[in-house]
Structure 1
Amino acid sequence: MFGCCIAGRLLQTNLQQVDETHALFELPQASAINHICVFLLGTIPFPDGYGATVHFFWPGKGFQLLGMLSNEKPSAIFRLRGTFTSNPTSASSHTQNAFSSTYSAQNLDAGLTAILGLSIEPLDQIQAQMSMLNSVPARDTPDLTKDPSLFADRIVNHLFNYVSSFIGGSGKVTPDVMIPMSVIGKWYENFLSKVRAGGIGFLERGD
């Protein structure tokens, strides 16, 4: 159902089932990971009214909620290096316990292997968690206008998520999927419209 990809590595589909609603990927050599892409393979959609929260366990540092996936948002890119902040209050204790027990039981080598966890939950619960995740103080929000590389990263991430929504139902993910230029043009129009309407804050919110 899920896949993940790290730049310079093979596509991972070796998902490990924890229970009926939780699954995980092991991420070896985690200290070398900058970004990770998580996506639906297109073979099995979420049940109506459900999606998945995406979680990251870093050995010795704890728990982090990264974001979400749904049938309407079948893929997302998350930046890991330099952004880890433990936020256990943004997810249910059941979710934390499901992954934490597996994490401890596997006796992972600290600093080398991390865990990417996926928790299937009702969309209303997911939205509540995302609201908590996004409600960071303004002083903690990076100023994209002063960091060109981060600004570029957010734009590419926004484009990727937009374009990937058009191939979410293809049934499989391959590097040879063709995207019509009209899709890129439509993204560009929408992107400029959002910038003109409210600035670039939507890039941090993931809108």
Structure 2
Amino acid sequence: MFAAIASGNPIQLSVEVPNSNGLQHTIVLSSTKPKLYSHISLFVLPNVTFPANYIATVYFKLNPNEEFKLFGYLDVEKPSAIFKVKLPNSGHTPAPVGDGLGEIDMDTEEAPSLGTTSNISELIIGISIEPRDIGLPRLEEWKAERSASANSSSLIVARSGAARGINTVGQLASVYPILTQDLAAKIVQHAYNYLSGFLDMNGNVSIKRFDTWWDKFKNRLANDGSFLDEVTSN
């Protein structure tokens, strides 16, 4: 009934889930080169007549042990959609909340270091066909939650570090020492690049300049931390 294509990969047809009270269809996208996932197209097959009073809510997850997360819908007026997929450290700037399907931020806990991609081997799409008067209110609630969240401009399919008991920077450094070193180096380099433009005749910088850098850095980090990937030594 449905099909999906991840860029650089063959088309995958949906499979019906027998005796299901929830998701009626699933699609498993797999690849030996997950970094090829830059866009995913999901659509109703051409020979299928979709009932006008129903919608197909769409869910995603990264492995069978995770819970599905809502990401949008298809219906008779919207039989297809394209997803932008953000792999770890891709530096992509998320899009604003729209109607229906949006972006998938696929940062995962396995990312070994900045500038590399995680070993994502599959992406699982779940599709539930349900009456419009049931599915649409759920979608409106979903969009409201996204708009109210700190990262309202992006959708996240993630296995958070908190699931592994990572709650402090020390724990982060213990689990990801190389990543933490790279992060620290990027922050120091960013500060150096900024402050070096304010050296006086003796090679000193006012502490007020540092305070200004820190305020700007925190604001930029809160909006889009991917700028750190572009920090280089001058």
TM-score w.r.t. length of structure 1: 0.49
Structure 1 or 2: larger helix share? 1
Ranked by relative contact order (alpha carbons within 8 Å, sequence separation 6 or more), the top structure is 1
State TM-score, norm by structure 2: 0.44
Larger C-alpha radius of gyration, 1 or 2? 2
